[in-house]
Chains A and B, each alone.
Chain A
Amino acid sequence: MINFSDDAILKGLKEKHADSIRYLYREYFPLTKSIVEKNSGSYEDAEDVFQDGIIVLYQKILSGPLTLNCSLKTFFFSICRNIWMQRLDRKWRLLYQDDLVSESIEDYDAIPIEINEEKLEKTRLYQLHFLSLPADCQKILKMFLSKASLKEISECMGFKDVHYAKTRKYLCKNMLRKKILKDPRYKMFLHYE
């Protein structure tokens, strides 16, 4: 079994290497699961938190050189715990049980990490629905979001004209919006006035 150093994990994650992500799962997921499950969460919650934790870590790596005053493991658990506690708080069901949480958790609290938990959850939800769209829809929307012109989209997708490309773009976008609006998890983000 290969062991990665903290630097190797960070470097691998920056490049989005599958090996680094697999290593994180193998080594870091069990404790993340334990943190979440001991604080009123489920296995699925732990998986979501873990995914968001990786995204936050990735964003931190991209935002500049990451200087750690602790091990990467401690830093990562601190991120995950922070996400989960904010999520619990937001959902008005904070059932924090100090006695059940690992004794080293206090170390994680000491690390200040700015996390927009709500945006993380939205990002995950939107991306999951986007990835569940038909492949051609994903491709059209990706091109559209990367500011490709309708002519480029039309040529790349082999559409007869730009009007059809435009219609398909709206149809795909609409399909994505409907999927998200129907998702019960989206209800907590609704802002009906």
Chain B
Amino acid sequence: MNDREKLPELIDRFNNGKLTGEKLTDFLEMLKTNPRLREEVRLDSELNEILANMDILELRQKILSIQQNRQKRKGTDFYFFLLAASLLLLIGIEVLLIMNNTHRNPYNNTTLTPKYQSDSKQLPVNNKVKQAAITTKTVNKEKKIRDWTREKRLAASFRKNPSFENMIGSTRHAGYFRMDAPLIGYRFSEKAEIMFEWTQDGHAEIELKIMDNTGTSIHESRLLDKNKYSLPPGTLNRGLYYFKVLQNDEIIFFGKFMVE
């Protein structure tokens, strides 16, 4: 064993007062010339003093364990929050996409299929007469634009109103009230009579309000002692309509129908 290997033992024995005689003299000589050794001896002495206090060491161990648990929990909480935020974001995007899709395509998610079709395909085009075809082409083009505009306008009149869609159905009502006709989403022919029928307790006055899909009021009636009401054929243009039944200014039923 060389001097370097013996050093830890010498330091330990020196600090515990167990180094005597020639070995002590040699060690003191080494201390005089070796600052690094002096530092190690000092550190060893401090370690002996500080680590001997097991009580504080035990407390430190507990503090550290609590501190580490807190950090772990903090990390877990953060990841949980991140996950929840991501899910909410995804749901939000999904809702936006659905709403956007509903606005863009009125035929989406509805059984409504207007009978109206562009008759531009049925236009007679005489391919054989080229001179006349130029005029016919211009006329056809204008007609196509007109048809397209009309079709677009018609499609718009069937577009769902998201605010109204959320209100459809019965609401809580003190007495009994049931809307028998039209069924929600019922399609009336343009030439048919628009018939409303209901069943209710007593003979209270009800108010019937019809709105188009933009929310514009189209028709209003106050009805006392009645259980049916109709609008003559041709009163309403083709489109999607919403109606509400009110009693004492309270909505008791909200429905929709179409005129095709």
Contact = CB atoms under 8 A, between A and B. Distances in A.
A176 B47 contact: yes
B142 interface: no
Given A141-B51, A145-B51, A177-B40, A16 B67 contact: no
Given A16-B59, A18-B66, A54-B63, A122 B50 contact: yes
Contacts of A59: 56
Contacts of B57: 127, 130-131
A123 interface: yes
B9 A22 contact: no
B35 to A, nearest CB: 5
B105 interface: no
B52 A51 contact: no
A145 B46 contact: no
The prevalent SS among residues of A at the interface is helix
A21 B62 contact: yes
A16 B60 CA distance: 10
A139 interface: no
The prevalent SS among residues of B at the interface is helix
B211 to A, nearest CB: 53
A177 B56 contact: no
Interface string B14-55: 000000000000000000000110111011101110111011
A190 B66 contact: no
A193 interface: yes
Interface stretch (A2-10, A63-71, A79-87, A167-175): A167-175
A192 B38 CA distance: 8
Given A131-B60, A142-B54, A174 B8 contact: yes
Which of A54, A122, A124, A177 has its CB near the most chain B CB atoms (within 10 A)? A177
Interface string A161-193: 000001001110110110011000000001111
A181 B36 CA distance: 10
Contacts of A54: 59, 63
17 contacts: A21-B62, A47-B67, A51-B60, A55-B56, A122-B46, A122-B50, A123-B56, A124-B60, A126-B47, A126-B51, A131-B57, A145-B51, A145-B54, A171-B8, A176-B47, A180-B47, A193-B38
Interface of B: 8-9, 12, 35-36, 38-40, 42-44, 46-48, 50-52, 54-67, 70
Given A127-B57, A130-B51, A173-B12, 12 more contacts: A18-B65, A21-B66, A55-B59, A58-B59, A131-B57, A146-B54, A173-B8, A176-B47, A177-B43, A177-B47, A180-B43, A193-B38
